[in-house]
Structure 1
Amino acid sequence: MTDPLAIAKALIQRTGAARSRDLVRAGVARAQLSRLVAAGNLQRLSRGVYMLPGLASAEGQEGLQVVAERTASPRLCLLSALRQHGLTTQTPFEVWIAIGNKDRAPRIDWPPLRVVRMSEKTLEAGLEPVQVGRRHVHTTCVAKTVADCFKYRNLVGMDVAIEALRDALREGATTVDELWRYARLCRVARLMRPYLEALA
């Protein structure tokens, strides 16, 4: 009989996280999954999503792994996008994702999601692929993320928006032209102008 722990370890080490259906397909029975979690050999991050103990916390990617596994085409935005780009020292306890104005918000039990609704035009603009485990998710590019921070300043705080703009320019993570482009798209050009002119 094949060892269920060995099967689970091999799959999770290859993919970063595994859904229960993938583990069952690989040969681990659902009852064995429960026993592996109870024994501390597996960590259940969310309903149907498993990792090896210690692996997730070492990388700080637990929440993103679950979102990548449990939601269709997630788009990271605002604080989660800033974190991906290394433009904030904060580690948001929520995963920030953007959805369309008429889309249904995903329902998962963990991690906490902060869902931001955007128009179709701004939702699809400035997306870059990011590898999370074996999945690809999208995150807003640096310039779009900064413009979004100004647009959604009531959610993230004006201080966060200004800090993101300053750090993006100081580190050469984007250009002034790109920032203007997304500022106009997000209709915050007038708001961003004095900060851009002072920092550029």
Structure 2
Amino acid sequence: MYIPNDFQEVRPEEITSLIKNYPLACIIANTAKGLIATHVPLIMRSDNVLVGHIAIINDMKTLVSDAQEVLCIFKGEDSYISANYYPSKFEDHRKVPTWNYQVVHVYGNINYFSDTKSKLAAIGILTKISEKEANGDSGWKMSDAPKEYLMDQLNDLIVFEINISKVQAQSKLSQNREKRDFDSVIKNLQERGKNEIAESMLRIERN
């Protein structure tokens, strides 16, 4: 990924936040049949391990072997940025539109697990985190489902871990603009309801 110096994201807390807040990753791998892409939520089990699961009939398991390198892409909120958002544009008219976004590329080697213990652990952590965010203390629990039904569902899944080898991140958030233009972009994003990317810009300003 090409990352201009102005947009390099090196804050560990921001990178971790992007992965946690936007867990639906695109996993890309090179295979004997060409490139494949799989969209699946991934959870950080530790600082250097991502965990997820796929249907056992998913071609990814057949085409991507144990220990093979994969690329996982996490993308935050993005937005079109009009040149009219820049107050300086009305003075010199030397501005053009652009696009603001945040993205994290995680490289690592994948390993699959088919035992019941690994499946329960992977589904359990994903469910616990997701239900807590969606429903608080009243969230669904795995124990809510009949045991036999749950086991049948698990039989159709395979779990995998990705051992992280490299992380690249980019926050393209108008950092290369003068303050009045930067602040105006935030204001316009807020007015359009793009609050998450506006908040990301405010975090840059606070730092």
Q: Which has the higher contact order (CA 8 A, sep 6+)?
A: 2
More strand by share: 2
User: Normalized against structure 2, the TM-score is what?
Assistant: 0.30
- Structure showing greater Rg: 2
More helix by share: 1
User: Normalized against structure 1, the TM-score is what?
Assistant: 0.30
